[in-house]
Structures are given as C-alpha cells and as structure tokens.
Amino acid sequence: MSASGLNVWYWRQMATWSTLLKRDAMALDYWRRIAAARPADAGALASLAHRTAQAGRRNEAIELLERAVAIDSGKAGPWYNLGYLQQESQRHDEAIASFDRALAIDPKLDLAHYGKALSLIKTGRLEEAIEPLKRNTELQPLSPYGFYQLAHVYHRLERTDAAAKVIRRLSGFEPQVAKQLERETGIVVGVQSGL
C-alpha cells in the first residue's frame, strides 16, 4: 500500500479520535492502515498489536509485537507487552524471556518484575520468583500485589517467618489484604483492620 505522509498523519489523528470516542473497531482499522503503509514502523506495529489484543485476538497481537521488537529491540514497553500477552496465553517460558528483555532495557520497570515472578510461580520456580517480587515491592512499596504474591510464595516454601514479616509490613498500608493473607495462609500476625 502506498500512502503519503499526510495520509498516515490523518489516519493517526483518526485512530486517536476513534479511541477517545470509544470506537474501537474504527481505531483498529486505522492502525491497520498505518501499519500497512509503514511496515517497518515498530511503533505502529506495537499500537496495532495493542488494539488487536483489546479486540481479543491475542495470538495475532503476539505476532505483531514479535515483528515490532524484531525491528526495534531497544524499547522496554513492547517487550513487556509481548511478555504480558505470552503470559496470558500460558506461554510462560517465552514470557519470562520477554520480561527479561524488558528489564535489561529498564531495570526499574516494576510491572516486568511482577510479570516475570507470576510466570515463574506458574512454572513452579518459586525460589526464583522471590527476587523479582522483592524488586517489585521495592519499586512499588505501596502496591499490595507484589507483597501478596511474595507472602504466598514464602508460605508455599514453608518459610513461615518470612511470610509473616511480609504480612506484617502489608498490614501497615493495606490491612484488609493482610487480613486476607492471614485467612489464606493461616499465618496470624494480629492485623488490625482499622475500621
């Protein structure tokens, strides 16, 4: 498809407006046009992959992201998104590799640490999941998700003291989640609900 720069600019504007107006099919169509006109544009492929995934076509989105990172492997976001979609497709070893690529580019990408840990947990590699979960909690100290998973990993590894320490810490800012962990693990640290 031969398209001028003006066509592509117009299609990007229309894709943006379509998204804002919640016209998802229309936005997807415009991103398809842009990607067809600019097949070597990694950003256009990544945007098309995002819209394609939202439309429920995960495998197609994975293929688009694989093409995008083959063109430009130097951005953490597309690697993270690829890992996320691979994880959602139960392709955990591939997801771990993609999260690692994202983290090599941006070691502070907390979601990639968390995603990697979830795939490690799913593949039964609990000891390996501890470090990315710890890193996630360092980067997001007020988000309960990493702490929640870390407590469960410690519990499954029968490291009760470590799990209790995580639950205690979580109780300082998310007492309801800490109480839930107490119920799920049977490890009682005396969380006060604050209500």
pLDDT band at 23 (very low <50, low <70, confident <90, very high): confident
Segment 80-117, tens digit of pLDDT:
999 999 999 999 999 999 999 999 999 999 999 999 99
Cβ atoms of residues 159 and 133 within 8 Å? no
Instruction: Give which of 24, 28, 61 is closest to 46, Cα–Cα.
Output: 61
Instruction: Give which of 100, 105, 63, 68 is closest to 83, Cα–Cα.
Output: 100
Lowest mean pLDDT among 75-79, 118-122, 161-165, 188-192: 188-192
Res. 127: pLDDT tops 60? yes
Cβ atoms of residues 140 and 152 within 8 Å? no
Cβ atoms of residues 34 and 11 within 8 Å? yes
Instruction: Give which of 36, 30, 28 is closest to 56, Cα–Cα.
Output: 28
Cα dist from 8 to 2, 26, 36, 39, 88, whole Å: 10, 15, 10, 12, 32
Cβ atoms of residues 179 and 193 within 8 Å? yes
Mean pLDDT of 13-34: 85
Higher pLDDT, 191 or 146: 146
- Look over the chain and give the mean of its residue pLDDT values, rounded to a whole number: 93
Residue type, 33: R
pTM of the entire predicted model: 0.86
Lowest mean pLDDT among 44-48, 61-65, 181-185: 44-48
Res. 1: pLDDT tops 80? no
Dihedral sign, CA of 94, 67, 22, 13?
positive
Which 3 state secondary structure label does DSSP give 109?
Answer: coil
- The phi, psi pair for 172, rounded to 5°, reads -70, -20
Domain boundaries, the chain: 141-195
User: What percent of the chain lies above the pLDDT cut of 90?
Assistant: 72
Complete DSSP assignment for 21-62: TT-HHHHHHHHHHHHHH-TT-HHHHHHHHHHHHHTT-HHHHH
Q: Distance (Å, rounded) from C-alpha 121 to C-alpha 62?
A: 22
